[in-house]
Chain A
Amino acid sequence: MFKKAFFIPILTTFIVGEEAISMQQEARGPVYRNEKFGYTVSYPDHWFTSRLQYANEFEIRNYVSEDPQVPARNRALVRIVDKVNESAEVTDRFLDSLVARQNTPKQEHQTLAIDGHRAVRVRGKLAYATGSSIDKTAFYLAISTYIADEKHTISLEASVPVDVDESVIQEIIKIEESVKFDKGG
């Protein structure tokens, strides 16, 4: 489970308000800012933004493909995906559907509050259909956090090899929980 020490700064952030947020971001390193939807995501210095962006997506990785300094088992990426639903009720129903899933050894969910917003984290094995004749399906560990912002949903979707170090998982969780909304919760 999660380390107590890791969450204390976040808890502090909630208590002391927005000034602490900006200080915390400075301490954490780079920040992705989404102007359209008014939120930020902080990530460590040793993570990199992808050159390739899609309309509603932003991607960060802890390695560069051409010169990966990270062991293969610890290479991680997080996709930040924005989706606008028809209404806040639709967003809620989507999160309800995640919560309604039965926790199994292969997939589990947690209900969270991130910056005052309802959120659900889903963690489980993700199957990549490689199509290779020599491979069976490759499995990755997916750690996805879905945050409700009225009719807008932010999905922070991480994937890592299943034998990834716990420290990388903690980094991912830290990134996914670093979301701060301009308008607050």
Chain B
Amino acid sequence: MKRLTQVGLAVLIAGLVLLLKGSSPLVTTATAQTQNKAQQQAKESTRSAPPDTTPYTRPALPEDSAPRGVRAIPLLPGVSSIIVDVVVNNTDPNLTNTDTFNDGETSIAVNPANINEIVITAFSESWGANAPLWRSTDGGNIWTKQFTIPAPPGVAAAGCPCDQAVDYGRNNQMSGTFLISDIFSGTTTDPASAAAWNWLVIAGVTQRTNHLVPSSFGDADQPWLLVNRDPTTPTQDDVYAAYDDFSGGPDMRVAVSFGVDPPNFTVDNQSGTSTGGINPGHRLAVDRQTGFVYSLFQRCVGNCGGDPKNINYMLNRSTDGGATWILNGMPGGIIVANADSTQPQPKFGTVNALLGGADHAAVDPNNGDVYYVYGSRDAGTGNDRLAIRRIFDNGGGGVTVGPENFVTGQVEAAIPSVAVASNGIVGVFYYTFDGFSSGFPIFSAHLAQSSDQGVTFSDQMLEMFLSSAADNGDPRQRVLGDYMQMKAVGTCFYGAFTGNGVPFGRPFSNHDPIFFRACPASTRPTPTPRSRPTPAPRPTPPR
């Protein structure tokens, strides 16, 4: 009866509307908006703007050297630990007086064949001629800014590299992925030589890394590259490039090149689907003992137009070289955690939109456990803390997600990067926003370490600094960048972050890539390796 009444009412109202307005018979309260408005909105759509490589500089303030009277660069424990400004500790002694580039959004690669050879990339200058990288051959004490990244042949690359990420494999091969309007990836055995880069060039044009997915052309974003051993041929290294395809959900894609130099991406599959309102924060983590690869990303599932947003932190896995992605029977990945998070705006510390998410993961090289760090806003205090979960083998081909523990206390934290050393120590790099001084935000870079599988952490501040810039009104302003990167090699953590150079000796306030190496002594026995599932035979990919 109720249904009949409703249907009758609907028909009556529909008929009236049809008669009076010549419009949808089902619309009871229609607005007067027209298609012209959609066309007008179309004109407002923009996807081409200069990168935020603003050289944020200003005269140095007394507080730059000691924010709030605190020593800006505490001594790192451990005889092998160092922290240096790569602009100051440089083979060019004048660079500290002249370099004013943005230097945001760092990536780091450490050569496993020679851990004294370390490369950092950042927004340190764009293509026109070759773009620069920062290279050290003495373990990170002294650096050289080398203009040795050529633009991919045949590609209009001026103004970029935009996002970029580098990683070393074996045989001295370092691969890098670079965002232009699409993604291009190359490999070099000598980062000091522009000529040593190999790109897959076809008919004079470098092949896109995302070439197998036409929908992504012009819509690819934020590539993330890691090298991993092949799951079935342990002596072979494969290059994985994760990226977002914003023509879709956005779609999380992972392109794979199998053991060839230059990289040739012959597999590209979807590892998940994100949502609007946030950046997906798509990242990779690799298990170098099995060749398994993890794809992690964010999905906004609540209050996506407001603040804070409710986010599902997702994890997916491929055990067959990226041919298939599935975890615990879920092709779209599993939910590792659900939490509120403040991103991308209001800006972190009022000056850094979080357009790279608040998530990262790494694999314990001893037993394959995955440590997943994510942003979690405390509803009581409003602080965006960082939490962590250990994800471990469930013995049945899947994984179990462990309980939530907190990396930070009640602080406003962001831009995490996690790594696991060979002695099982879990390290988490992150920033905190600590208030204001002289009108500028105060940030601290931290390295938190856990020797009990991420249950408790001890915190080491790396640098406290005043931002070189205040809020400029741009909602996409990023004085730091979308991500920072830390990796573990052996028992040491190697990281690079964007920080103020004044405490290191710069004569004016400018952000630089800051390198740190922290080698904590193990406080627990080396973990016993766990038996792990045999990798599934890979379906024959179209190589």
- A residues sitting closer than 8 Å to B (CB atoms) are 1-2, 4, 7-8, 10-11, 14-15, 50-54, 59, 61, 63, 65-68, 72, 75, 77, 79, 99, 103, 105-106, 108-114, 116, 123, 125-142, 159, 161-164, 166, 169, 177, 184-185
From B92-100, B209-217, B360-368, give the one contacting chain A.
B209-217
**Which residues 19-52 of B sit at the A interface, judged by CB distance below 8 A?**
21-31, 33-35, 37-42, 44-49, 51-52
Query: Interface code B265-290, partner A: CB below 8 Å = 1, 0 otherwise?
Result: 00010101100111101000000000
Instruction: Give the Cβ gap from A78 to chain B, nearest Cβ, in Å.
Output: 11
Which of B25, B248, B251, B476 lies in contact with A7, CB distance below 8 A? B25
Q: Is B482 an interface residue (CB 8 A)?
A: yes
- 4 A-B pairs besides A52-B332, A131-B356, A161-B42 with CB distance below 8 A are A65-B214, A129-B279, A131-B281, A169-B38
**Which residues 202-223 of B sit at the A interface, judged by CB distance below 8 A?**
212-216, 218-219, 221-222
Q: Is B238 an interface residue (CB 8 A)?
A: no
Query: Interface code B1-13, partner A: CB below 8 Å = 1, 0 otherwise?
Result: 0110011011101
From B157-165, B256-264, B411-419, give the one contacting chain A.
B157-165
22 example contacts (A-B, Cβ-Cβ < 8 A) are as follows: A2-B23, A11-B11, A15-B11, A54-B332, A65-B216, A110-B30, A112-B26, A116-B7, A126-B276, A127-B276, A129-B277, A130-B355, A131-B163, A131-B279, A133-B162, A133-B179, A133-B482, A134-B181, A136-B476, A140-B276, A163-B45, A169-B35
CB-based contact A116/B277 at 8 Å: no
CB-based contact B3/A184 at 8 Å: yes
Cα-based distance from A79 to B250 in the complex (angstroms)? 12
Q: Is B331 an interface residue (CB 8 A)?
A: yes
With contact pairs A65-B251, A116-B6, A128-B246 given, residues A162 and B276 touching in the complex (Cβ less than 8 Å): no
Instruction: Give the Cβ gap from A125 to chain B, nearest Cβ, in Å.
Output: 5
Closest to A104 in B: B33
- B residues sitting closer than 8 Å to A (CB atoms) are 2-3, 6-7, 9-11, 13-14, 18, 21-31, 33-35, 37-42, 44-49, 51-53, 105, 123, 159-160, 162-163, 179-181, 212-216, 218-219, 221-222, 244-251, 268, 270, 272-273, 276-279, 281, 299, 330-332, 344, 353, 355-357, 475-476, 482
CB-based contact B270/A4 at 8 Å: no
CB-based contact A110/B29 at 8 Å: yes
Contacts of B276 in A (CB 8 A): 126-128, 140, 142, 159
CB-based contact B332/A132 at 8 Å: no
